[in-house]
Amino acid sequence: MQVEAPVITLDGPGGAGKGTVSTLLAERLGWQFLDSGALYRLTALAAMNHAIDMTNESGLAVVAEHLDVSFLQNDGRTVIMLENDDVTESIRSEKVGSNASKVAAFSRVRDALLKRQRAFAVMPGLVADGRDMGTVVFTQAELKIFMTATSDERARRRVAQLLASGVNADFEQVKADIEERDERDMNRKTAPLVPAEDAIELDTTEMPIEAVVRFIEQEAKARGLMS
């Protein structure tokens, strides 16, 4: 009999710190990590490369179905390859993020990426980061977290991240982009960004990363997911 791998889902708006928290958590548990946002970003970037319009649902669905992507581990760092190009950095740009949010509104694109996401759920377990991990992709997950923070705080974190990587950023512009993306992600018809009924909602505005990770570890322990 095949045993289903345990899953912890982390959903929430962009910039809430899900990526950092889920990476740390997956490392400590020794589990797989799924960055589902990267798949939407890769779909957007592949569509941009092939001159497919962000409103062309059937074209975008074809791109999503045929996404030629690999996630390679290199010295503890994940390198993301799209059609033989290293796109680890380029998929993080604001332009790709904003287009990812547009392609993600199409149900045919979401359906095309579903199987690929579920394939990450292998033993000993999976930490899945996204918008609909607990509501659509892994409804059976043992532990579901919905992480939020105010848009001011998320913009502040994003600006700090950009400055640290040598990119200049304007706080008001970053905040406006974040709010525009929230609006689109929360109000789309397919798989909108909402907490699962059985999710724990966590406002991280005033929580350091380590405190968030510790909180989730305690919840995981309470459910017998870690020793």
Q: Is the CA virtual torsion 17, 220, 38, 88 positive or negative?
A: positive
Query: Can residue 134 be called a binding residue for ligand DC (CB under 6 A)?
Result: no
Question: Which single residue is written with the structure tokens 């008001």?
Answer: 172
Q: Which of 181, 199, 204, 226 binds ligand DC (CB under 6 A)?
A: 181
Q: With contact defined as beta carbons under 8 Å apart, do 22 and 143 qualify?
A: no
Helical spans, DSSP H, in the chain: 18-29, 36-49, 57-65, 94-103, 107-118, 151-164, 171-187, 209-222
What is the nearest approach in angstroms of ligand DC to the Cβ of residue 20? Answer: 12
**Which CB, 109 or 220, lies closer to ligand DC?**
109
Query: Can residue 195 be called a binding residue for ligand DC (CB under 6 A)?
Result: no
Query: Can residue 87 be called a binding residue for ligand DC (CB under 6 A)?
Result: no
The residue range among 57-65, 94-102, 144-152, 218-226 that interacts with ligand DC, by the rule CB under 6 A, is 94-102
**Which CB, 104 or 174, lies closer to ligand DC?**
104
Q: Within a 10 A sphere around the Cβ of 6, how many other Cβ atoms?
A: 22
Please enumerate in sequence order all residues whose Cβ is within 8 A of that of 182, keeping only pairs 6 or more positions apart, or say none: 13, 14, 151, 193
Question: Which single residue is written with the structure tokens 């992507």?
Answer: 69
The residue range among 1-9, 68-76, 98-106, 141-149 that interacts with ligand DC, by the rule CB under 6 A, is 98-106
The residue range among 68-76, 82-90, 93-101, 169-177 that interacts with ligand DC, by the rule CB under 6 A, is 93-101
String of contacts with ligand DC for each residue 141-180, x by CB under 6 A:
----------------------------------------
Chain contacts with ligand DC (rule: CB under 6 A):
14, 36-37, 40-41, 97, 100-101, 104, 130-132, 181, 185
